[in-house]
Amino acid sequence: MEIVYKCKETGYVFKTQEINQLPPINFSGYRIQYEYGKLSNITEIRNNEVLAKIVYRPTKTPIIEKVEYNGHKQNRYNNNKVSSVHYEVNNALYGEFKKYDTSGNLITRKYYFNNEDITEDVMRFL
């Protein structure tokens, strides 16, 4: 496994083989991880805090498997179409949850508050 840290401000690049190796203090930039010579994930970091993460499937041509940004989460099928979209805070679902089939057609739409399904309440309100 190879991990590359690239600083946004200076362009400085730091490479390591150690998965537990931490970036410099107050690092802001990107953590790019390769597994078996293939792009595995890209993480955007500001002051050592994760802002966003893109996880790739380990295929010949990298295909996005999962995207996370500020609680917004998106999962994808092997054909790169969106599988599901939802918002999560501290492992609890909030807001609209959408699930799609492999063709990209919406098959499920639910609403959550603190992991509790409130779809019926929302639909009565609308």
Please tell me the predicted confidence (pLDDT) of residue 85: 97
SS3 89: strand
Does any domain span residue 9?
A: yes
pLDDT tens digits, the chain, 126 residues: what are they?
A: 889 999 988 888 888 877 666 776 788 999 999 988 889 999 999 988 899 999 999 788 889 999 999 999 999 999 999 999 999 999 999 999 999 999 999 999 999 999 999 999 999 987
Which residues on neighbouring strands pair with residue 117, listed in sequence order? 112
Residue 64 contacts residue 80 (beta carbons within 8 Å): yes
**Domain that residue 33 falls in:** 1-56
125 and 83 assigned to the same domain: yes
Does any domain span residue 110?
A: yes
Does any domain span residue 79?
A: yes
Residue 32 contacts residue 2 (beta carbons within 8 Å): no
Exposed/middle/buried for 120, CB within 10 Å: 0-12, 13-18, 19+?
exposed
Please tell me the predicted confidence (pLDDT) of residue 111: 97
Please tell me the predicted confidence (pLDDT) of residue 13: 86
- Give the pTM: 0.80
End-of-domain residue from the set 56, 87, 103: 56
Please tell me the predicted confidence (pLDDT) of residue 73: 96
Please tell me the predicted confidence (pLDDT) of residue 10: 86
Please tell me the predicted confidence (pLDDT) of residue 103: 95
End-of-domain residue from the set 56, 79, 101: 56
Does any domain span residue 4?
A: yes
Tell me how many domains the chain contains: 2
Largest Cα–Cα distance of the chain, in whole Å? 54
Q: Tell whether the torsion through CA atoms of 109, 65, 72 and 103 is positive or negative.
A: negative
Please tell me the predicted confidence (pLDDT) of residue 126: 77
d(CA 20, CA 22): 6
